[in-house]
């Protein structure tokens, strides 16, 4: 069950999902919102990648936290699902908006918990991921209050199509995780000039059974 839940935070699903959300805004002529969404989502993912590369390449990380980089699953899930809830409830009252945000928050918490239970991340990494994603959504929502040169107040169209596209995307990916960690390791090796990347000094407690992890000795 937890392996299924954790996939909803995998970049193989969240990155195309964020792109679909961008295209949905563009198709509704919400150009300002689309650009702001792309900016804040991209910036959050960049912070995740940089934090992981800094550790893997040069062992740069906050001390005493068992920290090897921001949890990408937690950050992208918080950004995508909270952002989607805000946009879908944009034309509704406070009650409907709170309902959508509560559902999104529950999904984000479940994904974050799955990273801990599966032994993929430490508590500090998951908290950092949720925090970065939620803060990026807060900044994105704040930017929506800025006046647009040509504001579009028409109701958003294609919500059902957007939901169907996400479902189709889920079926097409077939639960396969993206090779983002491997790509980041290769980048870290290229930047540092070392043949191996750094690994966490304090091992995590893994649930049983759990997928065998690839060790990256110093």
Please give the pLDDT value at position 27.
Answer: 87
Q: Within the chain, which residues score under 70 in pLDDT? A: 146-156, 205-218
DSSP classification of residue 122: -
Q: Using one digit for the tens of pLDDT, what is the confidence trace for 107-152?
A: 999 999 999 999 999 999 999 999 999 999 999 999 877 555 444 5
Whether the Cβ atoms of residue 85 and residue 103 lie closer than 8 Å to each other:
yes
Which residue in the block uniquely carries the two structure tokens 């800025």?
A: 146
Alpha carbons 201 and 204: distance in angstroms, whole number: 10
Q: How large is the C-alpha radius of gyration of the chain? A: 18
Helix axes 123-144, 72-88, angle to 10 degrees: 30
Tokens standing for residue 188: 């870290």
Other CB atoms closer than 10 Å to residue 217's CB: what's the count? Answer: 7
> What's the confidence (pLDDT) of residue 205?
65
Separation of alpha carbons 66 and 68, rounded Å: 7
Residue 55 confidence (pLDDT) = 95
Instruction: Give the pLDDT confidence score for residue 123 in this predicted structure.
Output: 95
Helix-helix angle 72-88:94-117, to 10 degrees: 170
Least Cα distance to 91 among 157, 147, 27 occurs for 157
Looking at residue 188, what is its pLDDT? 95
Phi, psi (degrees; rounded to nearest 5) at 88: -70, -25
- Give the pair of three-digit tokens for residue 198: 């750094």
Q: What is the pTM of this model?
A: 0.85
């Amino acid at each position: 069950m937890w392996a299924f839940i954790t996939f909803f935070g995998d970049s193989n699903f969240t990155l195309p999902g964020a792109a679909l959300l961008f295209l949905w805004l563009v198709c509704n002529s919400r150009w300002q919102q689309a650009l702001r969404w792309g900016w804040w989502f991209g910036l959050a993912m960049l912070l995740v990648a940089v934090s992981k590369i800094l550790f893997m390449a040069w062992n740069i990380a906050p001390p005493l936290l068992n920290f090897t980089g921001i949890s990408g699953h937690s950050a992208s899930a918080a950004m995508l699902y909270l952002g989607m809830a805000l946009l879908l409830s944009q034309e509704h009252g406070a009650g409907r908006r709170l309902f959508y945000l509560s559902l999104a928050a529950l999904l984000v918490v479940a994904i974050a918990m799955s990273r801990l239970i599966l032994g993929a991340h430490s508590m500090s990494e998951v908290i950092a991921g949720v925090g970065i994603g939620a803060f990026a959504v807060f900044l994105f929502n704040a930017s929506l209050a800025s006046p647009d040169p040509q504001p579009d107040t028409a109701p958003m169209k294609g919500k059902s199509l957007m939901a169907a596209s996400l479902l189709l995307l889920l079926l097409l990916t077939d639960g396969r995780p993206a090779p983002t960690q491997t790509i980041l390791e290769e980048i870290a090796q290229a930047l540092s000039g070392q043949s191996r990347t750094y690994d966490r000094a304090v091992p995590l407690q893994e649930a049983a059974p759990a997928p065998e992890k690839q060790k990256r000795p110093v």
